[in-house]
Amino acid sequence: MDQTSTISRSNQRNRRSRGALALLGDPMPKYEYNPELLQQSSTFLRKRTARNRVSTGQEAIVQPEKEFYDTSRSEWTLIFVGDPTNRNSLRCRPLLVDFVQRHTEQCQCIYLTNREGTDALVLAEGTGFYVVEWSHPNRSALIQFLAVTRVPSVIVVENRSGRRITDWGMEAIDARSDSAGGTKEMFEAWRRRGSGLPLCSALTTACTLS
> Residue 16 has what pLDDT?
54
User: Is pLDDT above 50 for 19?
Assistant: yes
Look at strands 76-82 and 107-113 and give their pairing.
parallel
Q: Which residues contact 157 (CB under 8 A, 6 or more apart)?
A: 19, 20, 21, 76, 77, 78, 79, 146, 163, 164, 165
Confidence of residue 201 (pLDDT cuts 50, 70, 90): low
Look at strands 164-166 and 153-158 and give their pairing.
antiparallel
Q: Which residues contact 170 (CB under 8 A, 6 or more apart)?
A: 80, 92, 95, 96, 152, 153, 154
Burial class (CB in 10 A: 0-12, 13-18, 19+), 38: middle
Q: Give the tens place of pLDDT for each residue, 28-46.
A: 999 999 888 777 644 556 5
Q: Which residues pair with 110 in a beta bridge?
A: 79, 130
User: Is pLDDT above 80 for 179?
Assistant: no
Percent pLDDT > 70 in the chain is: 75
> Residue 46 has what pLDDT?
54
Quick one: average pLDDT of 111-121?
85
> Residue 1 has what pLDDT?
46
Confidence of residue 209 (pLDDT cuts 50, 70, 90): very low
User: Is pLDDT above 80 for 26?
Assistant: yes
Quick one: average pLDDT of 162-176?
93
Asked if 109 and 127 count as a contact pair (C-beta separation under 8 A), the reply is yes
User: Is pLDDT above 50 for 4?
Assistant: no
Look at strands 66-67 and 76-82 and give their pairing.
unpaired
User: Is pLDDT above 60 for 53?
Assistant: no
Count the neighbouring beta carbons within 10 Å of the beta carbon of residue 16.
11
> Residue 123 has what pLDDT?
85
Q: Which of 6-15, 65-74, 173-182 has the lowest mean pLDDT?
A: 6-15
What element of type H or E holds 132? strand 130-132
Which of 52 and 139 is assigned the larger pLDDT? 139
Which of 20 and 191 is assigned the larger pLDDT? 191
Mean pLDDT of the chain: 81
State pTM to two decimals: 0.81
> Residue 60 has what pLDDT?
57
> Which residue type sits at 71?
T
> Residue 64 has what pLDDT?
86
